[in-house]
Structure 1
Amino acid sequence: MLFGCTIMSDISARAAAGPKKPVRSAHPSTTAPGRQPTVVARAKARDTRLPVAVGETVDVNGARRAFRFSQAQHSADSATRITAEELTNRNVVTIADLQQLLPNVTIQSMNGTSTINYLLRGVGMNDYTQNAMSSVMTYIDGVAFPLGQMSNGMMFDLASVDVTPGPVGTEHGQTDTGGEINIHTADPTATWHGGLSEDIASYARNRTNFHVSGPLSRTVSFRIAGQAQQGGGWQSMPLDGSHLGDANEGALRAKLRWQPDEKTDIMLTGHWVQDDSQVVTGKPFLNVQPVGPSPNMGFYQAEWDLRPQFAALFGRSASIKPSEHNTFWGADLKMSRQLGFATLSSISAFETERIGEYTDQDATQYATGDQYRNVVSNTFSQELSLKSAHQQSPFHWSIGAYYDRVRMAQQFFMDFTQYLPQRGYLSETSYQQNQQTFSQFAHLSYRFPHNVTLFGGITHEADDRQLLGLATRHFGISTLNFNNEATSANQFSGVVGVQWQPVSNLMAYFKVSKGFKPGGFTANNTVIQAQLAPYKPETLLAYEVGFKSDIVPNVFRLNGAAFYYDYHDQQVLTTLLVPNYGPLGMFMNAPKSQIWGIELNTEIHPFRHIFLSGNLGYQRGNYQIYQTLNTTAVAAYAQTHGGVWQAFYTDYSGTDTGMPKLSMSGTAEYRFNPLNGYEWVTAVDGSYRGAQAMSPGVTSGMFLMPSYFLLGAHMTFRPASGRWSVTAYASNILQRHYEVSAGMETTTYYYMPSPPRFIGGRFGFNF
């Protein structure tokens, strides 16, 4: 439970005092900024289930309301929208946890760290250094995070999350090819609310959440929320039995809202996150030149090491385990003013990150690829928009502009002292990077007779990036200084489509959109200038057709979409083989590729106590024009030739890209009232994810991460007043062993293993 109250908008609607007594929501903060919901229930408690969508006001008079986000059923998109209650029930506490709830979505932690990469419908970027703009933009309360790692630790005190695939940027924020993840946090309330929850689970995992919200005066209100996480480490070292993976994170968020009149809304938000959590270490599955013997390890065991000489190089204790030492903080000011004919809005934001991250990249007890990374970055963004205000008018429009500026400095320290005879030294690569983006956008729609709506939008974006002062030092051997690099882009993108609403509970749409993402640089362990050659921008032409239907209102909802992507200059992480050195990751462009697939989402309320929901995604992709290094062939040759690296290039035209093809997720929930004024909820949930290849064309063997199925469950008992709740839950009940991502360092190829079964309980108290 997030702050013990994320489910209260549902519970308060189930009036325990009788069928005729109106009940107000006990958690009105689950709406969008500037609005407070009013939920009035006049149905019997056993027949009433009143979920409230973000920004939605619901009036119920004797009708059963089973489904949420009813306004979104009239939007021409294929977004998946998730309530705070569902996020709590599915134990979503990080952005990566969302992967198990979404169709055709991959969200992976890189090397077990706080670096997260996203792929929506196969569009994404495998960027460990995070010095490029992600193919999937993250927004928190409307603030764009061009550096995705900055959003870590923010998944608490939530109102909802929605994930929109496909090209975006014609209505707000920054243009992108893959889509966007919008995280909505709870806002200040006009009445006093507070809550505290405690979550205790296996492996000594503990999570504490709290919030307090209320008015300071007639026009000013506030909200303060926080969370703390400790424990939960489930990896152990077979050599000495020490364990790894404990969380150690704290976060705070404060919001101050001023509404001096009915037309003006001003919100100031500040947040701080301190993350000193340990990270999970990989499990080697192939070592083409092992330095020494490795112990036999179980699935939940791992190896790591840290030499005192290496720790002294970056100024940390030699006793630390693979872990983060990260600080994220920022503030934003959102203002809106109703002008009569339109609403003027402004979002100003400043975000910063200070990252100190030690990882055992080679996943062994040997010093052949240990790494420490220092990152100091900040970003300033400003968005202005003007949106038509007359909702009943057939003509709607919006225009706006967005600007962001990023300043970044990174250091990579590597320990190769036992990687002999190829290296045998400590090294450091450091650089600075500057970036700025300026875009303008406009969107129009007009509703014709018979509820046919034409819509279109356009975005122009200019992006400039510079990589400055990059140098690599091999301590005691040499210093390599590299030339500065720069890249810029200036392109248009947009959308055009038609939407038809023949009846109130059925909508269909078709749209064509073009996405754009600027180019950038590969900047990590650098030994030759060729590694720094800028990769080009990518563009994506997307065709999508879809429908949204409440076939039987409040009983059976079914939404679906089919898509085809024509992808040009896709930015792909591949491998550059440096002679007499070895393989190094490098971003390049695949000239042409394609992706296609379908998605289905459903909610079913067949009987009074039963609620079912689920989604299905199927996607395929292949390269049409693409030639690059064959990493599997390179690894095989090195393994049989004593670690000698030989380049083998393959034409992958017509080859499958390796993305997971099938994904499914669903929940079955049973709700009833064992006592007058109390509710019992029992639910099971499951998710399936297809196999994912580490290299193009791989269909079996070590370089394929197998498919897996996960099963979870929870039971909750609570009064209708929402004052408290008790929950017992379990995740990965079947104790499935699966891989969440994969990678390689020097001569080692490894998987990142999955978490084991967790059994836990939550208790929440609200006032």
Structure 2
Amino acid sequence: MPAKGSATTVLPARHSSSVVAAHPAQRVHGKGGPVVSRHATDVDVSARRHDFAYPDAQHLPDATTRITAERLKERDIVTLRGLERVAPNLTMQSINGTASSNFYLRGAGFNDFTQNNMGPVLTYIDDVAYPYSTMSDGQMFDLAGATVTPGPVGTEHGQSDTGGEVHLHTNNPTDVWHYGASQDIASYARSRSEAYVSGPLAKGLSFRLAGQTRHGGGWQTNPLNGDHLGDADLWALRGKLQWKPDSHTTILLGGHFTQDNSQVVTSVPVHRLIGTQPLPHMQSWKEAEWSSRPAFAKLIGRKAGIKPSEHNQFWGADLHIVHDFGPVTFTAISAFETEREGEYTDQDGTAQSQADTYRTIDANSFTQEVRLSNSHPDDRLQWVVGAYYQRTRMNQRFFFDYTDYSARRYMMATSFGMNQESVSEFGHLSYRLPHGVTIWAGLLHELDDRSITGLQSQIFGGATQNFHAESTASNQFAGQVGVSWQMTQHALVYYKMSKGFKPGGFTANNTQIQAQLDPFKPETVLTYEAGFKADPFPNRLRLNGAAFYNDFHNQQILGTVLIPNYGPLSEITNAPKSESWGFEGTIEAHPFSHLFLTQNIGWQRGNFQNFPTVNRAKTNAYYAQHGVWKAINDNFAGVDNGQPKLTLNGSADWRQPIAHAYSLDFGPDWLYRGSQAITPGGTGFYRLPPYFLLGAHVTFRPASGKWEATLYARNILDRRYAESGGQATTTYFYIPGEPRFIGGRISCGF
């Protein structure tokens, strides 16, 4: 049930998701002044009926997917990775089953195990950019909605990027009292609890406090001893204090804290690269082997018998100041975010200690953004200018246990520091011409400096290597131009060209030679996009779509480097030339009373036009045959980029009134993701198989909306599928997805 008093509500439409827009330099105003978030959901208090959400966005030329809070709850989306179930051309995958995630949007993305580089797709929460996606762990509660924006961004707000952004919008304080809670219980003793309270403290001063806890849900078992794995153990709090000293000023102070001690899903090996030991034999796909040696647990300072798990703490604070001077509006956003992570994974997926890994991350990030924009959204000329500053500091340490790997038989650690600082200036303007035509243009300039320091590789009981520092700097421009035409009241077409930029960085995992620390280059992309939005039968049928072509230069890709007498290691490198193209669309239909249908469609293709690298498959095959590591170099020119070609998600919802006092909503939902390569040019076990998942829900609520009860199911058919995958020294592994979950939820709000 949507949180009462949300500052971002569409009435009376309850839930919908569509490919919609956030127009350049255009802001949304709600009750009591401007909404702080540029992407905040439009407030519609007119008497006109809307059966589809976000009607105003149908007049805005972009391909952003907007998802209501109701849709997020209905589809049981409680983590960032769940957004791939409601947005097209989006793939979000856990790194080795942990809270860290890799994003791929329209084929733009890369696998960064160490999470010390800026991703092609950035995460924002309430206009605050999170440079490392893990920092957002545990914050998907008390939401007002979410948006997914594909393609280059940065000329209107925040930081430049090449792939796009995922933006979460949380509920703001209210000037009247509201409170509520929900309890969710499901299979495998999974429990989720949420609560919030919001209201005034004094004239012009209001607050909101919300929290959540998660427990249980572990569904993996170890066939060796019957132990189980995967239980959640997380709690999080968020507080906001809003002060409106006058009708032109809004000051919003927010803070949050997350403690995550959850166990993680562990890997299942699918192929042995090194050695002759047979892979573990599982009676069920819900089984997996793991282990931890007491000596390794003592080394990392954890209790003996530690399971694959997180020991993470995140906290941060942000300050938003908005003042309307009349002709212009001033916005300032200051934020500080911290990450304290301790993460244990058994990556080889066996009872042997061949790739057991523990890492610690101590990171913080400070960001400052200022913007000036015109205050009147009805003016023909809309504009925004601003500047953005980011400073991050990080220290990581990786521990590896190779005791049962005959070629090494030792424990080792790699540690390093990371310093980064960037500043950018941006501007964007649009002008509305006669006959429904609008033109716009934006420009961004960014300076980025980053360095990796103090990297040390230590073999316990053996040698210690120290590596000298490396640094890299970027100085780039990005921009956008476009035109749109509102052909009729219910039909819009647009075309735009965008250049995106992302700075370079470093690969720091398991470093053995200095050359591994050579920085990879910045990534740039020139994106061409054409789209349309149409309501051919208002309140009955909505059709939105966009086609795109991405021309990448130095695309950052996880490639392979071979270390003599050691083996192949992953390394982020650059593909000098690559491309991707495709389309995405949303169909929303209300063919007759009570029935509502939504279907998101994403299709994309891509290939490398020039990508010289080590061919991991051929190199592994040579070692298997000759017992000697020899790099088999190749150029993947013409090879597919490996991203899923087809992604589908949708739902059917029947809304049935009962005796004028109650309503019953029920229906299925579905998700399909095509095959995905987990290494460039991968075939066979180097690819994740395609999969189809089916879910359903039934919700009963009174007309007052003060409470609701829901029964739901995910993966009803109990399909076996792989959510992500990778390599760990001796094996290639898959991270299995969740089995069937059946649950119930009761929510109330006043």
Range into which the TM-score falls when normalised by the shorter chain: over 0.9
Q: Secondary structure at the match of 1:576?
A: strand
Partners of 1:554 and 1:460 in 2: how far apart? Answer: 42
Partners of 2:2 and 2:304 in 1: how far apart? Answer: 36
Q: Secondary structure at the match of 1:639?
A: helix
Q: Given the alignment, which residue of 283, 298, 307 partners 2:268?
A: 283
Corresponding residue number in structure 2 for 1:751: 734
1:337-375, Cα deviation, whole Å (9 max, x unpaired): 001111000000000010001111211111111111010
Corresponding residue number in structure 2 for 1:729: 712
Q: Given the alignment, which residue of 663, 669, 682 partners 2:653?
A: 669
Partners of 1:765 and 1:487 in 2: how far apart? Answer: 52
Pair 1:231–1:338, CA change in 2 (3 A):
same
Q: By how many angstroms is 1:33 displaced?
A: 9.2
1:679 corresponds to 2:663: yes
Residue pairs, 1:33-72, within 5 angstroms: 35-36=30-31, 54-61=40-47, 63-72=48-57
Q: By how many angstroms is 1:12 displaced?
A: 7.6
1:251 corresponds to 2:236: yes
Partners of 2:431 and 2:243 in 1: how far apart? Answer: 34
Q: By how many angstroms is 1:8 displaced?
A: 12
Corresponding residue number in structure 1 for 2:89: 104
Partners of 1:291 and 1:239 in 2: how far apart? Answer: 20
Partners of 1:358 and 1:321 in 2: how far apart? Answer: 7
Corresponding residue number in structure 2 for 1:189: 174
Partners of 2:13 and 2:105 in 1: how far apart? Answer: 35
8 Å CA contact 1:5–1:722 kept in 2: the answer is no
1:407 corresponds to 2:390: no
Pair 1:82–1:8, CA change in 2 (3 A):
closer
8 Å CA contact 1:200–1:761 kept in 2: the answer is yes
Residue pairs, 1:280-359, within 5 angstroms: 280-290=265-275, 292-297=277-282, 298-359=284-345
Partners of 1:37 and 1:58 in 2: how far apart? Answer: 14
1:25-58, Cα deviation, whole Å (9 max, x unpaired): xxxxxxx9973499xxxxxxxxxxxxxx944232
Partners of 2:130 and 2:489 in 1: how far apart? Answer: 36
Q: By how many angstroms is 1:706 displaced?
A: 1.3
Q: Given the alignment, which residue of 513, 516, 535 partners 1:531?
A: 516
Q: Given the alignment, which residue of 98, 122, 147 partners 2:107?
A: 122
Corresponding residue number in structure 1 for 2:357: 371
Corresponding residue number in structure 2 for 1:48: none
Q: Secondary structure at the match of 2:404?
A: coil
Q: By how many angstroms is 1:720 displaced?
A: 1.1
Pair 1:171–1:738, CA change in 2 (3 A):
same
Q: Secondary structure at the match of 2:507?
A: coil
Corresponding residue number in structure 1 for 2:161: 176
Residue pairs, 1:466-545, within 5 angstroms: 466-545=451-530
Partners of 2:367 and 2:543 in 1: how far apart? Answer: 38
8 Å CA contact 1:633–1:648 kept in 2: the answer is yes
In structure 1, the gaps of 5 or more residues are 15-31, 39-52
1:459-497, Cα deviation, whole Å (9 max, x unpaired): 000000011110100111100000100000000000001
8 Å CA contact 1:464–1:488 kept in 2: the answer is yes
Pair 1:64–1:338, CA change in 2 (3 A):
closer
Q: By how many angstroms is 1:217 displaced?
A: 1.5
Pair 1:288–1:13, CA change in 2 (3 A):
closer
Residue pairs, 1:522-671, within 5 angstroms: 522-642=507-627, 644-671=628-655
8 Å CA contact 1:231–1:247 kept in 2: the answer is yes
1:309-336, Cα deviation, whole Å (9 max, x unpaired): 1111111101220000000000000000
Matched AA of 1:740: E
8 Å CA contact 1:11–1:722 kept in 2: the answer is no
Partners of 2:658 and 2:623 in 1: how far apart? Answer: 66
1:761 corresponds to 2:744: yes
Matched AA of 1:416: Y
Partners of 2:8 and 2:104 in 1: how far apart? Answer: 33
Q: By how many angstroms is 1:645 displaced?
A: 2.4
Identity %: 53
Corresponding residue number in structure 1 for 2:78: 93
1:85-140, Cα deviation, whole Å (9 max, x unpaired): 00001010000111122111110000000110101101012111110011101110
Corresponding residue number in structure 2 for 1:385: 371
Q: Secondary structure at the match of 1:156?
A: coil
Q: Secondary structure at the match of 2:70?
A: helix
Matched AA of 1:500: W
1:263-290, Cα deviation, whole Å (9 max, x unpaired): 0000000000000000111110111224
Corresponding residue number in structure 2 for 1:416: 402
Matched AA of 1:460: H
Matched AA of 1:756: P
1:231 corresponds to 2:216: yes
Partners of 1:616 and 1:517 in 2: how far apart? Answer: 27
Corresponding residue number in structure 2 for 1:710: 693
Partners of 2:522 and 2:488 in 1: how far apart? Answer: 42
Matched AA of 1:572: I
Pair 1:555–1:33, CA change in 2 (3 A):
closer
Q: Secondary structure at the match of 1:531?
A: helix
Q: By how many angstroms is 1:603 displaced?
A: 1.1
Pair 1:34–1:9, CA change in 2 (3 A):
closer
8 Å CA contact 1:11–1:720 kept in 2: the answer is no
8 Å CA contact 1:388–1:396 kept in 2: the answer is yes
Q: Matched residue pairs, number? A: 732
1:426 corresponds to 2:411: yes
1:288-315, Cα deviation, whole Å (9 max, x unpaired): 2247455411211111111111111111
Pair 1:77–1:11, CA change in 2 (3 A):
closer
Q: By how many angstroms is 1:446 displaced?
A: 0.8
1:689 corresponds to 2:669: no
1:509-532, Cα deviation, whole Å (9 max, x unpaired): 100000000000001111111110
Pair 1:233–1:33, CA change in 2 (3 A):
farther
8 Å CA contact 1:472–1:480 kept in 2: the answer is yes
Partners of 2:6 and 2:107 in 1: how far apart? Answer: 32
Q: Secondary structure at the match of 1:656?
A: coil
Pair 1:459–1:13, CA change in 2 (3 A):
closer
In structure 2, the gaps of 5 or more residues are 15-26, 34-38
Partners of 2:666 and 2:485 in 1: how far apart? Answer: 39
8 Å CA contact 1:37–1:57 kept in 2: the answer is no
Q: Secondary structure at the match of 2:239?
A: strand
8 Å CA contact 1:7–1:85 kept in 2: the answer is no
Partners of 2:472 and 2:114 in 1: how far apart? Answer: 18
Partners of 1:12 and 1:614 in 2: how far apart? Answer: 21
1:178-215, Cα deviation, whole Å (9 max, x unpaired): 00011000111111111111000000000000000111
8 Å CA contact 2:239–2:255 kept in 1: the answer is yes
Q: Secondary structure at the match of 1:150?
A: helix
8 Å CA contact 1:125–1:571 kept in 2: the answer is yes
Aligned alpha-carbon RMSD (Å)? 1.9
- Mean Cα deviation higher: 204-213 or 93-102: 93-102
Partners of 2:13 and 2:706 in 1: how far apart? Answer: 14
